[in-house]
Chains A and B, each alone.
Chain A
Amino acid sequence: AQKVTQAQTEISVVEKEDVTLDCVYETRDTTYYLFWYKQPPSGELVFLIRRNSFDEQNEISGRYSWNFQKSTSSFNFTITASQVVDSAVYFCALSSYNFNKFYFGSGTKLNVKP
């Protein structure tokens, strides 16, 4: 079964703090892909990153970084020096045996206060 768990329903931080959003996934497939999306208050989902199961290198993009650990089936997302504009709901997603289907987590709402 394919499943994505985002245990943190809501997180509140003060601007400039670092914050990590957790994502744990379940799949029996050896080939799979993981994604992160941001949903600002406007509602549109914005693609952030795509990572395949054969690439465990961590990735950094500006203030964003992702830590992929197959041993713990986790794909965590860290925002460094958070800003108010980072306030949004963040979704982690998994795609594997049926690549037309994305399995989304329930999302983590991040509130960044000034």
Chain B
Amino acid sequence: GAGVSQSPSNKVTEKGKDVELRCDPISGHTALYWYRQSLGQGLEFLIYFQGNSAPDKSGLPSDRFSAERTGGSVSTLTIQRTQQEDSAVYLCASSNRDLFRGYTFGSGTRLTVV
């Protein structure tokens, strides 16, 4: 697509439920990144994909967080047994590894755990 698409744009979930956040990167972008931004805070790196593999998942805060990418395209970030501290905006970005010119970000998913 023309840009990075994230869905849903907003998600309200009850504590303890699982959620899935989706990212559809720019067509042809081989690298995909997930970040988390808590209210009024900077960007917290979560995980980086190159193709379908994740060479750097060092930012995932706990084993409740996981992510996968299939077909070198769409990625899903899954949070199990959500907690209130998981409330944040989750941002996805993609880039062209062979011609790196920075990231293109999606508009984010605002997750609220109640």
Answer whether A and B are interacting partners: no
